[in-house]
């Protein structure tokens, strides 16, 4: 269901990468490996001029800037975690609980009264986690989506992201950007047999259960709230990032009401707008591929995939998943 993008839209002149299934770099015609629409987008009269492509260096620089303006992130005194057992490669899949204590020792819940956190948390109970069951979206839930987007767009972080994307001719106005965020993240599509049972936001931040396994579920706030209720059981971690402040990155094993997640990577202690903004950037700049970033001087990568079975607008893709890669 997930494939690398087969289009040069927004990719003209980007560096060659073996990860790509087709190419848009300047020598692709000579190498006979261009995407089919290379001429349409990247030719002299193309839709996607090379000056609008997003370079690897720009991603490194912008991600550091976004990291620096995450003013709503947790301070070191706001969160205390207890990672306990570090699982080896042969242990992540065996469903053994090797950590008797919860992952979170303490979270300062005053964080959750900040507008972006409060509006984010309101969204988490809007979904049925089982795929194959149609999502019913009420007028109140639509208002909650709008409120969340309204609150994140007030932050310096999202304003900086929008300014960058506008400069790259991806969006002409903030209104256009917000409307596209709403579609790509909250637009419904079918992971099952035709029922509109899923969205990017539900999958990534709230989590789903598919074929008896946890699918998605990459958010630290969601994890903390469900662990506090006793419905999430932390088992172990297979990766703990090099950061000595927040946001940090963990790769973790856990069960949710008995359904298992073998590796659930997550940023720990970041604001909702940081995660939402970083994943949106990577989805727009490197859909279907590893998006290489830098946070606090440390390299990391985010993987996104577009949903390929349905589109919105003029052929735009919904987000299928987005997560930070843990080595």
Cα radius of gyration (the chain)? 20
Residues 79 and 194 in one domain: yes
Residues 90 and 17 in one domain: no
- The closest alpha carbon to 304, from 233, 216, 220, 238, belongs to 216
Domain end position, chosen among 53, 68, 91? 53
Residues 117 and 228 in one domain: yes
Domain end position, chosen among 29, 53, 77? 53
Residues 45 and 132 in one domain: no
Q: How many residues does the chain have?
A: 327
Tell me the sheet residues that pair with 302.
291, 324
CATH code for the domain in which residue 34 is found: 4.10.410.20
pLDDT at residue 50, as a whole number: 56
Domain end position, chosen among 53, 78, 94? 53
Residues known to be catalytic: 203, 218, 261
Residues 81 and 17 in one domain: no
Residues 159 and 232 in one domain: yes
Residues 36 and 144 in one domain: no
The model carries a pTM of 0.88
Q: What is the DSSP letter of 203?
A: I
Quick: pLDDT tens for 144-174.
999 999 999 999 999 999 999 999 988 999 9
Residues 30 and 69 in one domain: no
Q: Into how many domains does the chain fold?
A: 2
Quick: pLDDT tens for 244-282.
999 999 999 999 999 999 999 999 999 999 999 999 999
Residues 116 and 190 in one domain: yes
- Which residue range forms the structural domain that includes residue 82? 56-325
Burial class (CB in 10 A: 0-12, 13-18, 19+), 110: exposed
């Amino acid at each position: 269901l997930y494939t690398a993008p087969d289009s040069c839209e927004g990719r003209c002149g980007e560096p060659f990468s073996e990860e790509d299934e087709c190419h848009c770099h300047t020598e692709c015609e000579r190498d006979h490996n261009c995407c089919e629409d290379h001429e349409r987008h990247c030719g002299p009269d193309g839709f996607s001029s090379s000056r609008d492509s997003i370079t690897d260096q720009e991603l490194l620089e912008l991600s550091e800037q976004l990291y620096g303006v995450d003013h709503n992130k947790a301070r070191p005194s706001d969160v205390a975690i207890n990672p306990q057992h570090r699982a080896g490669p042969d242990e992540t899949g065996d469903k053994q609980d090797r950590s008797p204590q919860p992952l979170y020792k303490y979270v300062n819940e005053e964080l959750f009264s900040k507008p972006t956190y409060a509006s984010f948390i309101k969204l988490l109970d809007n979904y049925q986690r089982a795929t194959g069951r149609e999502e019913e979206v009420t007028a109140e839930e639509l208002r909650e989506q709008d409120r969340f987007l309204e609150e994140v767009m007030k932050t310096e972080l999202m304003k900086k992201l929008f300014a960058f994307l506008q400069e790259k001719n991806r969006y002409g106005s903030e209104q256009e950007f917000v409307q596209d965020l709403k579609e790509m993240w909250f637009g419904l599509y079918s992971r099952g047999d035709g029922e509109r049972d899923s969205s990017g936001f539900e999958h990534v931040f709230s989590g789903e259960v598919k074929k008896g396994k946890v699918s998605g579920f990459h958010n630290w706030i969601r994890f903390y709230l469900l662990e506090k209720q006793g419905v999430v059981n932390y088992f172990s971690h297979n990766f703990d990032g090099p950061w000595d402040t927040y946001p940090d990155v963990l790769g973790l094993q856990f069960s949710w009401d008995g359904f298992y997640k073998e590796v659930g990577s997550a940023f720990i202690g970041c604001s909702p707008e940081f995660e939402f903004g970083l994943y949106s950037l990577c989805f727009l700049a490197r859909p279907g591929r590893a998006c290489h970033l830098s946070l606090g001087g440390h390299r990391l990568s985010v993987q996104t995939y577009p949903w390929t079975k349905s589109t919105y607008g003029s052929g735009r893709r919904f987000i299928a998943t987005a997560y930070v890669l843990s080595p």
